[in-house]
Amino acid sequence: MAEAVSAAIRRAGNPGRSGHVLSIRSARDLFSARERLARLFGCEDSSRFVFTGNATEALNQAVKGVLRPGDHVVATSVEHNSVMRPLRRMEEGGVRVTIVPAGPDGVVDARDMVAAFRKGTRMVVMVHASNVSGALQPVGAVAAAARRQGILTLVDAAQTAGSVPIDIPSLSVDLLAAPGHKGLLGPQGTGFLYVREGVPIIPLTEGGTGSRSESDRQPEFFPDALESGTPNSVGIAGLSVSLAWILRKGVESIRRKEVALVSELLDGISGIHGVRFFGPPDPSARVSPVSFVVEGMDPSEVGWRLEKGAGILVRAGLHCSPNGHRTLGTFPTGTVRVSPGPFTTRKEVARFLTALRKIRNLPS
């Protein structure tokens, strides 16, 4: 990926803005990445994948581009602030918001979500898997029920894209957002929003697209309708290479390894006195982020000790999801979060568990 970004920097052109060789090469990078996204998520029309700077931008485009005053939206209590903050802003403008509480394991009941639908419900927003508890949510059941009632479904796939098999048509999803730098293994500053054909959405940003330059009106065809301004063609070139690797490896294979590593993590943490993890105990019911607390210690101190004592980098705090932590009972101090990836080894998991035992002053 790094080599692809480096090569793209040396030959970067502005895609769609000219007919010279550099512009054409960058346009091909974008097209290649878009085609690979469509293949990865089971879609025929790659133009429905709109590139964004990150998942936050994609989620803002989806929420603010669809909802209007008087609309009703249903979301869960474990959403990231990339969903909650736009929803609160829309609420100030007349959108009605219902938050459905998840259980103590961080999983929301699909029946509770569907029961919250009412006349005027325009959209249901769900994180596919919590970035705090790691819990997978019943997106398929909720989306199917929403589709039957003419309600749009927006999915935040930040924690699942690239590591959990997702077939968008089978999932009955209308909009799906994800970053490029997490499970898709691409560079920071990349992401996408999938928009099903027929979903009415107003662009947040309008301007030059390299197409229909004779008109001062924003194009209505995709992806140009939602892609104004010079794109991050260099970053997307790197993302395209990462997507090619994922397609060769297979998401199912990546997922099997993730479940195995998480299983070892949960088993190991469970055996350390005074350490507690959150989320489902079944590794197949969750994704790689594992949040935990150490009795009598602030999460930031645990994170500092892991880094200084063993060179292990974790995230400590509220993880941009205060409602998620309220749901788990870990607000306001938060948790420590460790997240194995496709290149993590069993040896590294064992090293982490050894370091955690040392923090608890237990023999390894």
CA separation, residue 161 to residues 157, 168, 180 (Å): 5, 11, 9
Q: Determine the length of the chain.
A: 364
Give the model's pLDDT for residue 362.
58
**Measured on CA atoms in the order 260, 36, 135, 335, is the torsion positive or negative?**
positive
Give the model's pLDDT for residue 361.
80
Contacts of 193 (CB under 8 A, 6+ apart): 49, 50, 52, 58, 59, 61, 62, 175, 176, 177, 226
* Euclidean distance between CA atoms 125 and 153, whole angstroms: 6
Least confident window among 2-11, 64-73, 162-171: 2-11
How would residue 212 be classed by pLDDT, with cut points 50, 70 and 90? Answer: confident
**Class of domain 2-249 (CATH, top level):** alpha beta
Q: Is the pLDDT of residue 355 over 80?
A: yes
Q: Is the pLDDT of residue 10 over 80?
A: no
CA 36 to chain centre: 17
pLDDT digits 0-9 by tens, 314-351 = 999 999 999 999 999 999 999 999 999 999 999 999 99
* Euclidean distance between CA atoms 58 and 95, whole angstroms: 19
Total-model pTM: 0.94
Q: Is the pLDDT of residue 55 over 80?
A: yes
- Cβ atoms within 10 Å of 261's Cβ, excluding its own: 22
For tokens 């469509």, name the residue. 38
- Report the share of the chain in percent with pLDDT over 70: 94
* Sequence ranges of the chain with CATH classification 3.40.640.10: 2-249
CA separation, residue 90 to residues 86, 121, 157 (Å): 6, 14, 21
Per-residue pLDDT averaged across 135-142, rounded?
98
CATH architecture of 251-359: Alpha-Beta Complex (3.90)
- The residue ranking higher by pLDDT, 5 or 222, is 222
**Measured on CA atoms in the order 105, 107, 108, 109, is the torsion positive or negative?**
negative
* Euclidean distance between CA atoms 231 and 211, whole angstroms: 14
Copy the structure tokens of residue 361: 């002053």
Give the model's pLDDT for residue 25.
75
* Sequence ranges of the chain with CATH classification 3.90.1150.10: 251-359
pLDDT digits 0-9 by tens, 219-269 = 999 999 999 998 899 999 999 999 999 999 999 999 999 999 999 999 999
Give the model's pLDDT for residue 4.
65
* Euclidean distance between CA atoms 229 and 289, whole angstroms: 34
Contacts 24+ apart (CB under 8 A), 291-294: 291/132, 291/133, 291/134, 291/319, 291/328, 291/330, 291/335, 291/336, 291/337, 292/335, 292/336, 292/337, 292/338, 293/330, 293/333, 293/335, 293/336, 294/336, 294/356, 294/359, 294/360
